[in-house]
Structure 1
Amino acid sequence: MGKLVIVLVLIVLASFVWYFAKSKVSRVHGQVRDRAIEGNIGRALTAGPATKHLAMMGRTLTLGADPQRAGELVTHVATADARVTDVRADAGTVVITIDGSYPRARAHLLADRTVIGIEAMTWEMGFPQGAAVWDRIATAITTAAGHQGIPVGEGARHFVRDPAAGNDPEVWTVQVA
């Protein structure tokens, strides 16, 4: 019986030691990762891909169709993507939410055209998040519009960090001239 108690006490002590050692290693690993991303090495590794992703996020589309037809097309295409979590009409616009909160795209349904693009996104781990999803949706909208005979023009937006949104994660919004 005494040996059993000693073995159980050793197991409990080993579990505590393992838990604290593992959490310290995880915390140190996180700090090293953060320093690498924030430092010159991280910037050098992420600069090219981040620039590409930022250009993808800045992609805008202008659909030359009446607001109802364009809104239906945008809604249909957006709801077909698995990463889109919400599509809703909001006072002359269609708001598309990807991955639960960001990036967020907005289609402005004007009388003579519809302009759609990302209005806010998050920047985490050296990259804007959701760029591939937005690029996929924008390409699908362009393809669907082409099949329906709707003319599509492309443009670009530029983003700036929104200091009012906090730091974790960083939120970037469209730069206003």
Structure 2
Amino acid sequence: MLAKLVLVLAVIIVGSFLWYFMKSKVSGAHQQVRDRAIEGNFGRAIAAKPATKHLAMMGRTLTLGADPQRAGELITHVASSDDRVTDIHPEQGAVVIQIDGSYPRIRALLLPDRTVVGVEAMTWEMGFPQGAAVWDRIATAISQAATHQGIPVGEGAREFVKGENASGRPEIWIVRVA
């Protein structure tokens, strides 16, 4: 009985070591293939269409036709219900929303006659703007909540440009100023 138990434990331990080394070898090979694809034209061609789609999602803006206090409360309420939103804080004439700790950063400009909500800065990593699906989900929820409350909602678009960044840091993209 004791011999069988020792044998089972030995098989589990040896199997664990083998699995660990095989997994790291596969992960390393996968990383090399991914890096080569991104560096080559093939990788750029594959990533171009989804990246363009994500960039368009990040450029989505909403204009709410309501007083600033009502619009700010609605935006804060909707954004705070999303798990990926890590910070919401008011600023002079605006509400700033941060996703995943820093970027994308969304700003709701609380103007006297309307409120404009959109991404003002984002990171670009691994060939894509990060957080596009989250922003799209939040924007859709804000639009639906505003429509449900009888607030007129308009949609628009923004363009982004690559900002200055320190070496070794993710690329930061900001709204293009006309």
TM-score using structure 1 length: 0.82
Match of 1:3 in 2: none
Which runs of 5 or more residues in structure 1 are unaligned?
1-14
The correspondence of residues 83-122 of structure 1 with structure 2, limited to 5 A, is 83-122=84-123
2:37 maps to 36
How many residues matched? 160
Shift of 1:28: 6.8
Alpha-carbon distance in 2 for matches of 1:133, 1:86: 14
Q: 1:46 to 1:77 in 2, by over 3 A?
A: same
Pair 1:25–1:40, CA change in 2 (3 A): same
1:121-171 CA-partner distances (Å, limit 9, x unpaired): 111111111000000000000000001100000000001111245452111
Aligned to 1:140: 141
Q: How does 1:65-76 map to 2 (within 5 A)?
A: 65-76=66-77
Regions of 4+ moved over 3 Å:
22-32, 164-167
Q: In structure 2, what residue type is equivalent to 1:47? A: A
- How high is the sequence identity, in percent, across the aligned residues? 75
Deviation string, structure 1 residues 19-48 (Cα, Å, up to 9, x no partner): 9xx989866754542332132111111111
- Counterpart of 1:53 in 2: which secondary structure? helix
Mapped partners of 1:29, 1:147: distance in 2: 47
Which residue pairs with 1:52 in the alignment?
Answer: 53
Where does structure 2 lack aligned partners over 5 or more consecutive residues?
Answer: 1-16
TM-score normalised over the length of structure 2 = 0.82
What code does the residue aligned with 1:65 have? A
Q: Please give the root-mean-square deviation of Cα atoms over the aligned residues, in Å.
A: 2.1
1:171 partner amino acid? I
Matches within 5 A, 1:142-157: 142-157=143-158
